Amino acid sequence: MNLQGQTGIMNTTTPYWIETAQLPHFETLTQDLHVDVAIIGGGITGITAAYLLKQAGKTVALLEKGSCADIYTGHTTAHLTCVSDIFLTDLVKNFGQDHAQAVWDAGFAAIDQIENLVTSERIDCEFSRVPGYLHAQLQGGTADERPDFKAQAAQAEKLGFEASYTDRIPFFGLPGTMFPNQAKFHPRKYVKALLEKIPGRGSYIFEHTMAEEVVEKPLGIKVGEYTVNCDYVIVATHVPLMGKTNLVSATLLQTKIFPYTSYALGAHVPKGTIPEALYWDTSDPYHYLRVDPKPDYDYIIFGGSDHKTGQAEDTEAQYNKLEKLLKKVIPMAQLSHRWSGQVIETMDGLPYIGETSKKQFVGTGFSGNGMTFGTLTAMMAYDKIMGRKNPWKELFHPDRKKIKGGAWDYLRENKDYPYYLVKTRLQSAEGTKVETLKPGEGRILELDGKKVAVSRAVGGDLHYCSAVCTHMGCLVEWNNAEKSWDCPCHGSRFAASGELIAGPAETALESVQPKSK
């Protein structure tokens, strides 16, 4: 394990992600080019944007000053979560219920996007859906936090998100709130698969290629003696460059973001010691943990000890403090890695995502949730370039003023956004036992780990079909009056046994034969 001395200090600060996944290498830019979209920054934001736009038929050039996914994406802890640094109750208080719901919806939409790409591209990146636990301080506090956790759960349920209070979270035995359907993955294995799909047919990736200036007429990016001309620019760097934004605007954005350094420890623990999940405590700064099962052991990543970048006299002491706490709360942990990363905070706690000038899109201020909000930035940039409506445009805009107040029916105004077509997939099944069904009833039950539409005929016979509408993938709902399965997204209707009654779906629900009935 290459430990040194009694404190367990390691000789290297190479992140676990970089050590366990090699990425392809790309050439340096050596010619003038013209593409539809030029992207500055080869982390998850830029890579995802390049992939999505390439798949949509655009030509792209991705410019990275070093090696792709080495800096921020390579130094993350890769939590994928809708749970923001601001408690949900505070989000509602600060921004209103619709805006708070929109923030969490945006996080879930980004996780859905990652999961969809993992599935469609068959990416082996250890992606898994796991619960997330927001819990009491690991170091112990004097205040009773149980009312706060109960309030978080109640607020989440009120906004349509699943959550539950627990007196004792797994392993630590502390009170907290559990949020299902969060996720985690290996970030470099994920972006590796996307990187391999970008070059070709007029699209490029260039490494060790420093973008020096964004010029306006004609729009392009200066790289030494060469220029990449384009119709649109995405600035996907951690701290956005000025680009072609005017000096006042650029300076204002820079004054609204604050860089912090966060520290992470990687360690082995005996298999099954801590349930697989994401964990965050309420310390300030807070501590965070993820657990990944391996064949012979479990690997944990434990982080915290955040401080403003450049404002810690002894960064070694930050590692030591974090290691001491890890040994206290998880004594069996055997250290193997340590590294630090940078997170960017904003004045109001929400990211800045959007155009800073015409045809120039940026994303920053992800507040320690970079894998999620970086993906969201790519999705929003894609929507902008493709001329599509996006429900979070005003919420995250870099020039936003105070966003609370004013009538905004968030669900009604954005019901046609593609995210809502699959959002119902995150909803819980209505049970696991077919015996609970009465004649004439239908429910979505979880059988063999899948959501199944189960109905019982008046005569007692049971029908099993896939709960996924064959039109756009929403989950169907039982129509108790008509004894049919109806799709809440676009109105397709199916008989209790799954046969198609009315479109826009064109095929019946898939028949299912579950092992557990």
pLDDT at 241: 55
Q: pLDDT tens across 154-197, in order? A: 999 999 899 999 999 999 999 999 999 999 999 999 999 999 99
Identity of the highest mean pLDDT range in 82-86, 143-147, 192-196, 462-466: 192-196
> Mean of the pLDDT values across residues 429-445?
80
pLDDT at 120: 87
> Mean of the pLDDT values across residues 345-358?
89
pLDDT at 421: 60
The Cα 166–Cα 174 span in angstroms is 8
Does position 407 have pLDDT exceeding 90, yes or no? no
The residues pairing with 355 across neighbouring beta strands, listed in sequence order, are 361
Does position 293 have pLDDT exceeding 70, yes or no? yes
430 is written with which tokens? 């209505």
Q: Give start and end residues of each alpha helix (H) in 414-480.
A: 418-422
Burial of 93 (0-12, 13-18, 19+ CB in 10 A): middle
Which region among 19-28, 333-342, 484-493 has the lowest average model confidence (pLDDT)?
A: 484-493
CA angle, corner 498, sides to 161 and 429, nearest 5? Answer: 25
Q: pLDDT tens across 465-487, in order? A: 998 888 767 788 888 877 888 88
270 is written with which tokens? 């005996």
248 is written with which tokens? 């006042």
pLDDT at 290: 97
Q: Is the peptide bond before 275 cis (omega within 30 degrees of 0)?
A: no
CA 301, 302, 308, 314 torsion-angle sign = negative
Q: Are 353 and 378 contacting, i.e. CB atoms less than 8 angstroms apart?
A: no
Does position 340 have pLDDT exceeding 50, yes or no? yes
Which region among 44-58, 144-158, 300-314 has the lowest average model confidence (pLDDT)?
A: 300-314
Identity of the highest mean pLDDT range in 184-198, 205-219, 232-246: 184-198
- Beta pairing class for 493-495 and 500-502: antiparallel
pLDDT at 243: 56
The Cα 50–Cα 39 span in angstroms is 7
Q: Are 223 and 230 contacting, i.e. CB atoms less than 8 angstroms apart?
A: no
Q: Is the peptide bond before 131 cis (omega within 30 degrees of 0)?
A: no
Contact residues for 401 (Cβ-Cβ < 8 A; gap 6+): none
Q: Which domains does the chain have, with CATH numbers?
A: 30-75+189-255+349-420 (3.50.50.60), 131-184+258-346 (3.30.9.10), 428-502 (2.102.10.10)
The larger pLDDT score, comparing residue 460 to residue 43, is at 43
The Cα 428–Cα 177 span in angstroms is 17
Does position 221 have pLDDT exceeding 50, yes or no? yes
Residue 347's pLDDT band (cuts 50, 70, 90): confident
Q: Residue 144, Cα to own-chain centre: how many angstroms?
A: 31
CA distances from 177 to 102, 108, 303, 464 (A): 20, 18, 20, 34
